[in-house]
Amino acid sequence: MSKALRTLLFSCILLSLSVSSYAQTCKSYSFSSNRVYASCQDLPVLSAFLHYNYSSSANTLDIAYRVTGATTSNWISWAINPNGQQMAGSQALVAFQNSSGAMRVYTSSVASTSISTLSESALSFGVSNLNGSFVNGEMTIFATLTLSSGMTTVNQVWQVGPVSGNNPQSHDTSSNAANMRSVGTLNLLNGTTTSGGGTTHGSFMDLVDLYVTKPKMGELFGTTAWFLWNHRNKVRLNDRTLLLNRVGEAAKNLVQQVQSVREGHRGVRRTRRCKWTPPQVGDFKANFDGAWFDESDEAGIGIVVRDSSGLGGGGLIVSVIGGGIWV
């Protein structure tokens, strides 16, 4: 790889890292009116987020379900389904802005998927403090649910669809639609969620925390993910590739090599002095830097994300070795 091409690649990596660090997550969001939620989830589809407080002693669940990029032509919904991960049987909270500009927020027990609209009806559990908001393209439902004793894991269903004549209409039901993947489970005690058959433990910021608190484990995770991605591409192109049962060992060996190179350059001194200025309250700021090591044809990139008080919100290290990229 030519030096010019390496420089271009290096710049693209820096740009992509700085841009991605500003992607919205539930943990970086602050509500107005002094609303505070102890837990949150970045839902995997429909640009949706769930914030909540759960009280095991009172069996109550305070929720704020947010959808970004919403319009006056959208309805949004979040539901618990006691019967499974599906729309039929869902005990739903529904909201949209009606033709007069006011928020319409109500409950709807969804009997089947063949209905033409979401009619108002009572749910199988208590609901209080039900209200909604629509500000700057962000629509939110607030509510307090009274759950059955011992109901600590729930099937959650979330949706976004079109509104016509103050009536919610059917959402997209095509096989590849995001609406058909907006189901999963939520463990109210530890925040673990499942969606689409997989298990997740939080958001992107949790992965960033992994890199900060346990950098060796984070590097191994990222490297293993790269090997799997590379394997998948080579199989698709009918190219020779590493056997899957060798991926773990190869990733571990590569991480050890990178760490060894890093240890060899710990004595490199920097003379540049920069003064850090904090971002506005409620925002995060990403600072990044990089260095070339011509003698070994290597480069390193580091990025740190901090809030207005200077507290670290996450970090990331990328190594470029001989034209290859290892995150």
As a whole number of angstroms, the distance between CA 128 and CA 109 comes to 16
pLDDT in tens, 204-244: 555 555 556 666 677 777 788 888 888 778 777 778 887 77
Angle, helix 215-236 to helix 247-264, in steps of 10 degrees: 130
Query: Quick one: 109 exposed, middle or buried, by C-beta within 10 A (0-12, 13-18, 19+)?
Result: middle
Adjacent-strand bridge partners of 321: 298, 324
**pLDDT score, position 10:** 47
pLDDT of residue 304: 81
Structure tokens at 101: 């500009």
Residue-level pLDDT at 23: 47
d(CA 76, CA 296): 54
315 forms beta bridges with 304
pTM over 0.85: no
Those residues of the chain that have pLDDT short of 70 are 1-24, 113-116, 196-216, 265-274, 295, 312-316, 318, 320-327
What confidence tens digit (pLDDT) does each residue in 299-323 have?
A: 778 888 887 777 766 666 767 665 5
The 3-state DSSP class for residue 3 equals: helix
Q: In the chain, what are the domains?
A: 3-23+205-326 (no CATH), 26-201 (2.60.40)
Query: In the block, which residue shows the tokens 């920097």?
Result: 270
List alpha helices for 187-245, DSSP H. Answer: 204-213, 215-236
Measured CA to CA, the distance from residue 92 to residue 87 in angstroms comes to 9
**Taking a C-beta distance cutoff of 8 angstroms, is the pair 46, 121 a contact?**
no
Q: How far is CA 104 from CA 81, 93, 137, in A?
A: 22, 11, 16
- Quick one: pLDDT at residue 286? 83
Cβ(53)–Cβ(125) under 8 Å? Answer: no
